[in-house]
Every structure is written in structure tokens, then in C-alpha cells.
Structure 1
Amino acid sequence: MPALALVNDVCSLCHGLTGESVSPLFPKLAGQQKDYLKQQLTDLKNHTRMDKASTQYMWGFTHLTESQITELADYYSKQPAMQAEAETPDARGELIFRHGVPESGIAQCSACHGAEGRGHGQTPRVAGQHAAYMIRQIQVFQQADLRERGDLTSQIAHTLSDADAEAVAHYMARLGP
């Protein structure tokens, strides 16, 4: 099945036709980094993403070809960037995103995700992502065995308190256009 048919028939059910998911259960893919999307789809195909949501919703994607993975990643990465949530940014979240929590050994998120949260290569765009989704991903990273490539993020996320994880997720949700 061509990638655009997959987008229309399968992916859009959760992620929306343009990758602007309306449900906080599913990540927004619009404007996401192409290399990151390719890696995640490959991990889903190979069953190396073990978090519950991935297992529940994406386990059947073992049939994706390398060409389909590339086409899907290309399609979503070229969509207009994720739309930010309209609420006022979280001041504590901004502090963590921009400066980290040095007294707890937590590096700033912007060191990897960029000053505007746009990501680069295999580092995902976080700007405009659903806050609830980001909170869940931070929790997944706190369980290092659930994300094969989460080594650095796991080390950082492990020491975030629940309140700090929520604050930085809400801040990231408000970044971007």
C-alpha cells in the first residue's frame, strides 16, 4: 500500500490526516523530524518500542516496508509544524526547559531539543506536542527498558519529579507557531 494511502486509511485515524492529532493520547506528527519518525517507525516495526501505548496501537505495523517508512516520515515531516496550545506558558517548565535543574543534576531540555523545541535529526520536535502525551513519554523514559534509544533522556527524566515533568510538558506544548 502506498504511504499516502496508509496515511488516509490507517494513520489518520489517530494522528489526523496532516499529523495534527486532536487526541492527547496520540502524538502530533506534523513537522516532526524526518529521521526521528523513520527511527520510531522502524522501532515499531521491529518491536523494539515496548511501552504500552506502542504495543496497543502500533503492534501490527510489522508489515511496513523501508520505502513506506521513508515515505511516511517524509510526508509527516513536511506538514506544517505542530500547533502550540494557546494557554500561558508554565514559568517552572520554562526554567527547566531552558536551564534544567542543576541542583538535581537535570540538564536543560533545550540542549538537545533546541531553544525553540524544534529538535534535530533523531532528536524529536517537542514544540507544540500534547502536554499529556509528553508527560506520558517522560514517564516511559523513566523506565529505561521501555525505550531502546532513550539512554540520555532516561537519565535526565529519571530524576524529574512528577510536578516538574508536568510543568516542562506544559511549557513544551505551548512552544512554536
Structure 2
Amino acid sequence: MPYLAGAALAMLGVGCANVERSRNVADPAVPGAVLAQQVCSMCHGAGGSAESPNFPNLAGQNAPYVVNQLKNFRSHNRRDPAGYEYMWGLSRSLSDDQIDALAAYFSATRLKPQVIEGTASQIAAGAAIFRNGAPGKDSQACVACHGEKAEGNTIFPRLAGQHMDYLIKQLTIFQRTDERSDPSTMPTGMLMKGVAHSLDDKQIVEVAAYAQSLRSQ
């Protein structure tokens, strides 16, 4: 465990250094691909396809959503562990132009082919919840905000192809904490908190399995 903690700190240090280096060479004309390689690839992978399920895939993510999240990290409005352990430090040096360039780049990239992580039964159960909401609960169905194919939109993220473990982690954060649901700064988080509360642990896994199985559209 000490080794892992040290490795995480080392990654964070390298990432922060990369942000500073990008600012030294970057201006609004520098392509988002250059910024992504320097700033983001350590954790989110080349082209935004993350190797580790601890970090989300960014490839194909909707640009307005990426902009919103980076600005929430930069302002410390997003307070989940990913925020204060990684993204607060990384985003503080990003200008609005750099954030826009990164978002445009990732939205235009395609997610690498991935192995289906869930079982067939988990995916089938998750599909029913995604389309209809939790059985016996008066809750919003995922499809209402995230789209028929989990493609998302300008407000809600693309979930298709996202790491199963990452989705489980985020749903659990919404369910058990207020770290992503401050009504004054993240009103959509309040909606997600209500949806997550309608799910038990098994259903969270099932929904995550289904969304991951969709891959990128």
C-alpha cells in the first residue's frame, strides 16, 4: 500500500509538471491533442482511453460536459476524492481556452475497443433499470437524461463504454455523499443523488455493467 500511495503521488507530481510545461508552450492556437498528451494522458490514456478503471475514459465524451467538469474541479465545486487528490491540482493552471481545447479534442476521439466487463445477467438486468428505472421505485430512468444509447448530451455525460468500476464508484458517491451534489453549484448532482438512492448495491453494479457494455457509439 505505501508503494501505491507513493506511485499515486508521483503521478500527480508529473501531471502537475506537465500542466506547467503546457502553459509554457501553449497559446490558444495549440491543438487540444498536444495539451491532452502533456496534461491528461498519464491517467486518462492516449486519446482519452484510460487503461486503469480508476480513471474515466474521456474519448468521445461530450465537449460541454468536459468543460463543465474541468471548471468545477478548478473552482473546487466538485469535491469527490478524484477532485482533491488529482484534478484540483491539475486543473488550477488550465485557462478557459485550454479547457475548451481539451474538451474539443476528447469529444472528437473514439474510444478504443474494450472487453465487456459485466456478466450477461448483469447486463440484462442493468438494461431494464437503465430504460425503466429501479423496479418498484418512483425514480427517473437513466435513459431520460443519458440517452437511449447512453450517449449523453451537453449536460449529462456519455456513459457508453465507461469503465464499470468507475461508474460504480461515481454512483456510490452520489448515493452516500454530498461531494457531487451541491444544489448551488451542481444541480444535476441533486438529480443523480435521488436516482442513486433508488438503487441498491446490486443494481448499481448491473447498471454499470450495462452502460459499459454499450462501448462508444
TM-score (norm 1): 0.93
Shift of 1:108: 1.4
Given candidates 47, 52, 62, the residue that maps to 1:18 is 47
Q: Select which of 159, 175, 181 maps to 1:126.
A: 159
Q: 2:199 aligns with which of 160, 165, 172?
A: 160
Give me the CA root mean square deviation.
1.6
Paired position in structure 1 for 2:16: none
1:97 equivalent to 2:130? Answer: yes
State the one-letter code of the partner of 1:28. Answer: N
| Mapping 1:72-111, distance limit 5 Å | 72-81=102-111, 83-86=113-116, 89=120, 90-111=123-144
SS of 1:132 mapped into structure 2: helix
Amino acid at match of 1:69: I
Letter in 2 for 1:64: L
Offset from partner CA, 1:82-108 (integer Å, 9 cap, x none): 645435541111110111125122321
Instruction: Quickly say closer, same or farther: Cα 1:37–1:9, change in 2 above 3 A.
Output: same
Does the 8 Å contact 1:32/1:81 carry over to 2? Answer: no
Does structure 1 residue 62 correspond to structure 2 residue 92? yes
1:146 and 1:33 mapped to 2: Cα distance? 22
Change (3 A) 1:82 1:33: farther
**Higher relative contact order (CA closer than 8 Å, sequence separation 6+):** 1
Show structure 1 runs of 4+ deviating over 6 A: none
Q: Which moved more, 1:103-112 or 1:15-24?
A: 103-112
2:215 alignment partner AA: G
Flag structure 2 segments of 5+ consecutive residues without an equivalent. Answer: 1-22, 27-31
How far apart, CA to CA, are the structure 2 residues paired with 1:53 and 1:21? 15
Q: How many residues align?
A: 177
Residues 82/93 of structure 1: CA separation in 2 closer, same or farther (3 Å cut): farther
Report the Cα distance in structure 1 between the residues aligned to 2:114 and 2:127, rounded to whole angstroms.
15
SS at match of 1:93: helix
Give 1 or 2 for the bigger CA radius of gyration: 2
Q: Percent identity?
A: 41
User: Which secondary structure does the structure 1 equivalent of 2:209 belong to?
Assistant: helix
User: Structure 1 residue 4: deviation in Å?
Assistant: 3.5
Q: Distance in 1 between matches of 2:198 and 2:215?
A: 26
Confirm or deny that 1:142 pairs with 2:172.
no
How far 1:41 sits from its partner (Å)?
A: 0.4
Q: State the 1:144 CA deviation.
A: 5.2
Rounded Cα–Cα distance in structure 1 between residues aligned with 2:153 and 2:211: 15
